[in-house]
């Protein structure tokens, strides 16, 4: 499984905080309702962009001390 450093697609920041774990999203598409699998939601600390990862995804975060 590929492991990659987290990078915000908007501002390229690699700092994000966990906004939620085991989050399921529901939606509708052409009159069919769907529910996603459990997702981990990360929020970019810099610009506030939300990123969603499923359980298969692995990511690393860097922390400045």
Helix (H) or strand (E) run with residue 47 in it: none
Is 4:43 a contact under the CB 8 Å cutoff? no
Residue 15 binds to Zn ion (criterion: CB under 5 A): no
Stretch that binds Zn ion, among 24-32, 38-46, 57-65 (CB under 5 A): 38-46
The only residue of 10, 18, 23, 25 in contact with Zn ion, by rule CB under 5 A: 10
Q: Where are the beta strands (DSSP E) in the chain?
A: 3-5, 16-23, 26-29, 32-35, 39-44, 50-54, 58-60
Instruction: Pick the binder of Zn ion from 40, 46, 57, 59 (CB under 5 A).
Output: 46
Under the rule (CB under 5 A), what is the footprint of Zn ion? 8, 10-11, 13, 44, 46-47, 49
């Amino acid at each position: 499984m590929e492991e990659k450093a987290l990078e915000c697609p908007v501002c390229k920041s690699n700092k994000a905080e966990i906004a939620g774990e085991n989050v399921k999203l529901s939606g509708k598409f052409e009159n069919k309702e769907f529910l996603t699998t459990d997702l981990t939601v990360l929020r970019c600390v810099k610009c506030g962009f939300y990123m969603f990862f499923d359980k298969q995804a692995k990511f690393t975060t860097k922390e400045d001390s």
